[in-house]
Chain A
Amino acid sequence: AQTVTQSQPEMSVQEAETVTLSCTYDTSESDYYLFWYKQPPSRQMILVIRQEAYKQQNATENRFSVNFQKAAKSFSLKISDSQLGDAAMYFCASTSGTYKYIFGTGTRLKVLA
C-alpha cells in the first residue's frame, strides 16, 4: 500500500531563519506528483508547492523550495526567511492512482519571534 510519512510531529524555527520539514513516501507508480499543503488555524488547506516526479529539477515558489530525492523517495520542504505567518500545520501528499491523494500525518510548525 502507498504510504506518506512525516516523522516530525512538531518543529520550531526562529523568525527569519530557515527550517526543513521532512517527508518520505512509498509508491509503486512510475508517474506521480507530490505536494505540500499548509493548514493555518483557519483550517483552509492551501497548496504551497508541487513536484512532478518525472522532473529532476526541484520546485521553488518564492521562499519555499523542495529537496526531491526520487531514489530515496524523499520530499522535504525548505522554508527560508521564516515569517510569523508561516506558522501552521504542513501536510505532505502524494498522488495515488493519478487523481487520489495519500496524506502524511502532518508537521506543526511554530515560528518564534
Chain B
Amino acid sequence: DAEITQSPRHKITETGRQVTLACHQTWNHNNMFWYRQDLGHGLRLIHYSYGVQDTNKGEVSDGYSVSRSNTEDLPLTLESAASSQTSVYFCASSTGQHPYEQYFGPGTRLTVT
C-alpha cells in the first residue's frame, strides 16, 4: 500500500546543531508540505513543493530549508536548531487534483535543549 513515512519519530538535539527530518511518500504525489504543530496554533505551514526542484516558503519558514531532488522525498533541515523550534513536525502530500486532499505522515516530535 502507498504511504507517507517520517523519520525519526522522536529526536532530541542541542541548540545550534543542524537537524534533518526525513519525509518519504510512495503515493507518487507532486505536492509535498511540511507543517509544525504547536499548542494554541494548530498546524502552520513551513515549506512546500509542487514538484521536483520546486520549493516555496510557507507561513513560518525562518530557520528551515527544504530541497526536492525527486518525487518521493522532501527533507526538512533546521540549519541551527533553536529552542523555539521544539515542536511536532508533520509532512503531507497531495496529488494536486480534486478534491485536493492531503495525506499526512505520523509526525516527528523534536525537542531542542
Contacts and interface: CB of A to CB of B under 8 A. Distances in A.
A64 interface: no
B90 A45 contact: yes
Contacts of B58: 100
Interface of B is mostly: strand
Contacts of A42: 106
Interface residues of B, number: 25
Interface in B70-113: 88, 90, 92, 94, 96, 98-102, 104, 106-107
Given A100-B33, A101-B45, A105-B41, A95 B106 contact: no
Nearest to B104: A45
A100 B48 contact: yes
Contacts of A105: 40-42
Nearest to A33: B100
Contacts of B94: 99
Given A103-B44, A104-B42, A105-B42, A98 B88 contact: no
A86 to B, nearest CB: 19
Contacts of A100: 33, 45, 48, 58
A25 interface: no
A44 B104 contact: yes
Interface string A69-97: 00000000000000000000001000100
Contacts of A35: 101
In the A-B complex, the 6 residue pairs with the smallest Cβ-Cβ separation, listed nearest first, are A45-B104, A103-B42, A105-B42, A103-B43, A43-B107, A106-B42
